């Protein structure tokens, strides 16, 4: 496995120490530098081939998003921030992932693995041909829903609520049975008559519940054997 050379950029000492500690646990992550602000990044980019930025957003002098907007040749970035409000802007800039502080090690590693997948695609390695989005009706129009961002789906009477990592839940009138015909089986797994989870967003599970993000969801008896077969 090729090493990933990264920069840690955060104005908070505790945040720098936490992410530095996480990277030290991962043999293929090589920290090329630790910056107190985005204004320090160009110095490293000019002298080294940096693969990945572990970047805070709100910092003095130069905002992390502002740096990505102005530095067109910047490496890919995983944003690590205490602020939810920048998610839409961040994904428009095609960041790898958007992590909310305090970040768990498991969540950090999911972001790193996501970057590895992107690198694999870029290098021309064979990738599974995955469906990226579906269109669902909301407010009399068909709206694009990005599958990669969905954490879980919850049935609410005649409606379903699709909960994403950062954006507001997407609610639409559709039966779960009909929705499941639109979703790729490789992405999603039904665990209860009222819940469907994104497989790669599952943090932990027991015999009767699954953890997605910070939420534990119930696994009903008919789906328990299926759960064992999927992980």
pLDDT tens, residue by residue, 178-219 = 998 888 877 888 899 999 999 888 888 887 888 888 889 998
Do 97 and 154 reside in the same domain of the chain?
A: no
Is the residue at 128 inside a domain?
no
Short-list 201, 208, 107, 106, CA closest to 152? 201
Do 15 and 98 reside in the same domain of the chain?
A: yes
Question: Once rounded to an integer, what is the mean pLDDT over residues 137-143?
Answer: 85
Do 41 and 74 reside in the same domain of the chain?
A: yes
Is the residue at 218 inside a domain?
yes
Query: Of the ranges 68-82, 131-145, 165-179, 197-211, which is most confident?
Result: 68-82
Do 101 and 189 reside in the same domain of the chain?
A: no
Say whether pTM exceeds 0.85: no
CATH number of the domain residue 150 falls in? 2.40.50.1020
Q: Which domain holds residue 101?
A: 4-122
In the predicted model, is pLDDT for residue 1 greater than 70? no
When pLDDT is cut at 50, 70 and 90, the band that residue 127 belongs to is very low
Do 25 and 96 reside in the same domain of the chain?
A: yes
Region of 212 please: left (phi>0), alpha (psi -120 to 50) or beta.
Answer: beta
Do 83 and 25 reside in the same domain of the chain?
A: yes
Count structural domains, the chain: 2
CATH number of the domain residue 55 falls in? 3.40.50.2300
82 or 229, higher pLDDT: 82
In the predicted model, is pLDDT for residue 230 greater than 80? no
Do 9 and 118 reside in the same domain of the chain?
A: yes
Report the distance separating Cα 16 and Cα 149, nearest Å.
Answer: 26
Is the residue at 149 inside a domain?
yes
Do 60 and 159 reside in the same domain of the chain?
A: no
Q: Which of 97, 122, 147 is the last residue of a domain?
A: 122
CA distance readout (Å), 95 to 20, 55, 114, 180: 20, 10, 11, 28
Do 100 and 141 reside in the same domain of the chain?
A: no
Is the residue at 127 inside a domain?
no
In the predicted model, is pLDDT for residue 166 greater than 70? no
Lowest mean pLDDT among 31-35, 73-77, 107-111, 122-126: 122-126
């Amino acid at each position: 496995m090729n090493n990933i050379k990264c920069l840690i950029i955060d104005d908070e000492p505790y945040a720098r120490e936490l992410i530095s500690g996480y990277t030290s646990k991962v043999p293929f992550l090589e920290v090329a530098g630790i910056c107190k602000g985005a204004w320090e990044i160009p110095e490293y980019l000019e002298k080294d081939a940096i693969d990945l930025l572990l970047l805070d957003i709100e910092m003095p002098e130069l905002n992390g998003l502002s740096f990505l907007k102005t530095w067109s040749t910047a490496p890919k970035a995983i944003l690590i921030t205490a602020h939810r409000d920048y998610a839409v802007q961040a994904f428009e800039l095609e960041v790898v992932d958007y992590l909310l502080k305090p970040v768990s090690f498991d969540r950090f590693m999911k972001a790193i693995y996501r970057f590895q997948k992107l690198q694999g695609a870029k290098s021309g390695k064979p990738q599974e041909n995955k469906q990226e989005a579906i269109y669902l009706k909301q407010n009399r129009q068909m709206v694009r829903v990005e599958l990669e961002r969905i954490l879980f789906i919850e049935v609410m009477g005649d409606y379903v609520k699709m909960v994403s990592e950062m954006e507001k839940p997407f609610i639409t009138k559709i039966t779960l049975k009909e929705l499941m015909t639109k979703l790729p089986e490789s992405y999603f797994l039904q665990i209860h008559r009222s819940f469907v989870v994104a497989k790669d967003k599952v943090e932990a599970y027991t015999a009767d519940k699954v953890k997605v993000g910070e939420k534990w969801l119930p696994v009903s008896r008919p789906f328990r054997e299926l759960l064992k077969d999927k992980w």
